Amino acid sequence: MLAFIARRLLVLPLIVLVIYTITFVLAWMVPGDPMRQPDGRQPPPEIVEAMRKQYQLDDPGRFYVSYLGKASGVSWLLGKADRPFDLGPSLRQRDWSVNEILATGLPVSITLGLAAILIALAVGVTAGVIGGLRPNGPADLVAQTVALAGISLPSFVIGAAVLMLFAAHLRWFPVGGWGGPSYVVLPALTLSLPYAAYIARLVRYGMLEQMNADYARTARAKGLSRRGVAMRHVLKNAFLPVLSYLGPAAATAMTGSFVVEKVFAVPGIGQHFVDAVLGKDITLIMGVVLVYSTMLILFNLVVDVLYRVIDPRIEAS
């Protein structure tokens, strides 16, 4: 197990480097000029040129190497930077560094994403078990209908409907913003529905398949009830596909949903990323993508480790 984790961690920098390179090329090709703001004051050309040289925007090769060294901590180890993992200043939000923006936005997005994943797990597993135990029954048909709606409807449609019903009409929750636990409920619920729907379908199909396996029939023959077999033996195996799905799903949810954060005015990382792309804020784009990709790789590593813990046959193979 330790050798497997060590191999994956050794490969991590290479994967992040590939992602960094692809993101850099795409971000550099985005039309626009981060030094000029159409809605603000236009600096003289000589000032713009000086700022380009200051931020190394006049030389893509130099920017690529310099930013990579500071972001990876290599420049700090060589004594060429004041701190490790420096993601640079934001080119559009002049008084903020990318590290400061991520420090304020990432905890909000992680809190929202974690709440959404927990809701998705609770709702999805429950609906999937019900459907697997009583397929095509009334409860299963309702669960499948809700799951289909959760997968099919866009987040902005679900978010608008939830806002109008629970915030504007019933006034149970705040309309938007960020504060106490009551501010988390509606955006987390909206964000969780697609994940819950997919988890419900995975668990349902897994339960139906595993309930017909030889070990499940043997347990039934020994006198265990259908529910007892499902809870004690079948659910663990049916949950393995969900575990695979949870890696990228958790990373995606915890790094922020752009649409949900926009609808509910949540000050997470998603809004900053959208603004960075629209304004060609290259340093902020690179910083968000690097953090997101690292989280995604680490979450997938955790999932692979849990796979081997739950099913020892994978470790043996």
Give mean pLDDT, residues 205-211.
79
The answer to whether residue 143 scores a pLDDT higher than 50 is yes
Summarised one tens digit per residue, pLDDT across range 95-106 is 888 999 888 888
Q: What confidence score (pLDDT) does residue 312 get?
A: 63
The answer to whether residue 38 scores a pLDDT higher than 70 is no
Summarised one tens digit per residue, pLDDT across range 234-281 is 777 778 788 778 877 887 787 657 778 888 888 888 778 888 888 888
Which domains are assigned to the chain? 23-86 (no CATH), 106-316 (1.10.3720.10)
Q: How confident is the model at residue 20 (pLDDT cuts 50, 70, 90)?
A: very high
Q: What confidence score (pLDDT) does residue 21 get?
A: 94
Q: What confidence score (pLDDT) does residue 316 get?
A: 47
Categorise residue 192: left if φ over 0, alpha if ψ from -120 to 50, beta otherwise: alpha
Q: How confident is the model at residue 19 (pLDDT cuts 50, 70, 90)?
A: very high
The answer to whether residue 42 scores a pLDDT higher than 70 is no
Q: Which of 42-46, 93-97, 192-196 is predicted with the least confidence, judged by mean pLDDT?
A: 42-46
Q: How confident is the model at residue 22 (pLDDT cuts 50, 70, 90)?
A: very high
Q: How confident is the model at residue 18 (pLDDT cuts 50, 70, 90)?
A: very high
Q: What confidence score (pLDDT) does residue 17 get?
A: 92
Q: Which long-range contacts (CB under 8 A, 24 or more apart) does 94-103 make?
A: 98/283, 98/284, 98/286, 98/287, 98/288, 99/287, 101/269, 101/272, 101/284, 101/287, 102/269, 102/287, 102/288, 102/291
